[in-house]
């Protein structure tokens, strides 16, 4: 069974409440302590890197068996559309538990990369309420981490190309890329009819995160924010200034000012940004870990930084992934580590995922052995 990361001892809650009330009284506070909403303290994550497999919201028994055969302990599950319901979250959790696996993350494409929120479009408040409802449903299902992304016009890509051995993979070329998300296509030069200022983007993020933080803290929910993919300074008239570089992340986390808001470090996206990120992926991992904000890693590789790249096999890009695994071990990373954007291989989808997880587990074993 999945261990709830939060302290559920009622006596601890009472003692903490008494301490808060006493401190408030000593400070001469006049707010009504007895009516205050209590937040749930985030307990430390269990030790160790948790190598995980992404499975479908429609995962079969065979998919769960595949995860068991790979020897992973955790799974991550994207959902969306009419599958992003409390009933489905509970059902998925029960099925994963029954397979002696654990759910680390459930995502929801309906409230991920929301233009209404990022760009302050009509329906913004309704979308935020939908997101908050999603968080509450996750907590009811017993899942206390999720990944969020804040892109206003999708993930940008060009036509698919090939990597080693002719394996089909995502590519990006500044000359002909378009944005894609959840069935929508975003094309330049202006995806929403005008240019947005950085100030607008920051104001919109602040409005959103200030609504989210109280609910996340009440639930004990960790939210890891994914970097903009690709982290080009501006695409389609929309600046990628908040989650497009390290300084943006640092400012965004400061605005959130909450232990519940952290980082899903997509290593591949960070590599895409190159020097424009302000820190390389190794230094970024160290910095976020020092902040106690590093909760999930997308462990993938790319051929080169922007303006042009092709996603590669984990062992076939421009970054030393053994060094990255060593870095994560050195900083005592305790979150989930997943393969992501795996190129296609002969034999069907499981071939590529099996290769990636096997390679990642081998790197981890080598690091633990002192390689």
C-beta of residue 186 within 8 angstroms of C-beta of residue 101: no
Average pLDDT rounded to a whole number, residues 164-175: 97
pLDDT attached to residue 40: 78
DSSP three-state, residue 145: strand
Question: In this structure, how many other beta carbons lie within 10 angstroms of the beta carbon of residue 355?
Answer: 18
Q: What is the pLDDT of residues 87-128, one digit of tens each?
A: 999 999 999 999 999 999 999 999 999 999 999 999 999 999
d(CA 162, CA 312): 9
Instruction: Give the CA-trace dihedral at 170, 310, 248, 176, to 10 degrees.
Output: -70
Cα first-last separation, the chain: 33
How much of the chain, in percent, has pLDDT values that exceed 70? Answer: 89
CA distances from 136 to 176, 215, 226, 335 (A): 40, 8, 20, 21
Tokens 């595949």, located at residue: 66
pLDDT attached to residue 173: 97
d(CA 277, CA 260): 23
Query: Taking the alpha carbons of 133, 139, 140, 143 in that order, is the dihedral positive or negative?
Result: positive
pLDDT attached to residue 37: 54
d(CA 346, CA 152): 35
pLDDT attached to residue 35: 36
Question: In this structure, how many other beta carbons lie within 10 angstroms of the beta carbon of residue 137?
Answer: 19
pLDDT attached to residue 1: 38
Q: Which residue has the higher pLDDT, 139 or 37?
A: 139
Residue 94 is encoded by which pair of tokens? 């029960």
Residue 206 belongs to domain with CATH number: 3.20.20.150
Q: How far is CA 163 from the centre of its chain?
A: 25
CA distances from 88 to 140, 174, 240 (A): 12, 39, 33
Beta strand 50-54 with 74-77 is parallel
Number of domains in the chain: 1
Phi and psi torsions of 297, nearest 5°: -125, 130
Question: Is 324 part of any domain?
Answer: yes
pLDDT attached to residue 31: 33
Question: Is 317 part of any domain?
Answer: yes
Phi-psi domain of 211 (left: phi exceeds 0; alpha: psi -120 through 50; beta: other): alpha
Question: Is 176 part of any domain?
Answer: yes
d(CA 346, CA 271): 27
C-beta of residue 321 within 8 angstroms of C-beta of residue 301: yes
Q: What is the pLDDT of residues 263-306, one digit of tens each?
A: 999 999 999 999 999 999 999 999 999 999 999 999 999 999 99
Average pLDDT rounded to a whole number, residues 24-32: 36
pLDDT at 203 over 50: yes
Question: Is 340 part of any domain?
Answer: yes
DSSP three-state, residue 180: strand
Average pLDDT over the chain reads: 91
Question: Is 299 part of any domain?
Answer: yes
pLDDT attached to residue 88: 97
Domain assignment of residue 364, given as a range: 42-368
pLDDT attached to residue 41: 82
d(CA 48, CA 263): 17
pLDDT attached to residue 188: 84
Return the ∠ at Cα 216 (arms to 290 and 201), rounded to 5°.
75
d(CA 17, CA 24): 11
pLDDT at 2 over 90: no
| pLDDT range class, residue 15, cuts 50, 70, 90 | very low
Q: What is the pLDDT of residues 311-357, one digit of tens each?
A: 999 999 999 999 999 999 999 999 999 999 999 999 999 999 999 99
Question: Is 6 part of any domain?
Answer: no
Q: How far is CA 26 from the centre of its chain?
A: 40
Question: Is 225 part of any domain?
Answer: yes
Question: Is 311 part of any domain?
Answer: yes
Average pLDDT rounded to a whole number, residues 163-175: 97
d(CA 339, CA 353): 7
pLDDT attached to residue 43: 81
pLDDT attached to residue 13: 39
């Amino acid at each position: 069974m999945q261990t709830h990361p939060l302290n559920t001892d009622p006596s601890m809650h009472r003692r903490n409440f008494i301490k808060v009330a006493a401190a408030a009284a000593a400070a001469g506070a006049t707010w009504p302590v007895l009516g205050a909403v209590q937040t749930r303290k985030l307990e430390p994550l269990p030790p160790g890197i948790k190598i995980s497999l992404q499975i479908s919201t429609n995962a079969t028994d065979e998919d769960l068996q595949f995860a068991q055969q790979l020897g992973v302990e955790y799974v991550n599950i994207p959902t969306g559309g009419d599958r992003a319901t409390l009933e489905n979250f509970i059902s998925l959790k029960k099925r994963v538990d029954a397979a002696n696996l654990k759910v680390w993350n459930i995502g929801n494409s309906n409230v991920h990369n929301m233009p209404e929120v990022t760009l302050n479009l009509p329906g913004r408040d309704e979308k935020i309420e939908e997101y908050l409802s999603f968080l509450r449903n996750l907590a009811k299902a017993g899942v206390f981490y999720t990944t969020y992304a804040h892109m206003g016009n999708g993930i940008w890509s060009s036509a698919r190309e090939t990597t080693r051995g002719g394996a089909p993979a995502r590519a990006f070329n500044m000359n002909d890329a378009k944005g894609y998300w959840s069935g929508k296509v975003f094309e330049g030069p202006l995806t929403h009819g005008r240019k947005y200022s950085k100030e607008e983007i920051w104001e919109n993020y602040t409005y959103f995160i200030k609504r989210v933080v109280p609910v996340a803290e009440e639930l004990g929910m960790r939210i890891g924010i994914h970097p903009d993919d690709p982290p080009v300074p501006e695409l389609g008239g929309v600046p990628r200034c908040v989650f497009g570089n390290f300084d943006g992340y640092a400012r965004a986390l400061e605005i959130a000012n909450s232990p519940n808001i952290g980082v899903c470090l997509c290593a591949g996206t960070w590599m895409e940004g190159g020097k424009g990120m302000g820190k390389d992926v190794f230094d970024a991992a160290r910095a976020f870990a020092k902040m106690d904000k590093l909760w999930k890693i997308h462990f993938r590789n790319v051929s080169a930084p922007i303006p042009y790249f092709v996603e590669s096999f984990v062992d076939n890009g421009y970054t030393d992934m053994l060094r990255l695994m060593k870095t994560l071990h050195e900083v005592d990373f305790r979150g989930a580590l997943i393969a992501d954007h795996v190129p296609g291989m002969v034999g069907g989808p499981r071939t590529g995922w099996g290769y990636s997880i096997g390679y990642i587990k081998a790197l981890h074993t080598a690091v633990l052995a002192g390689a």
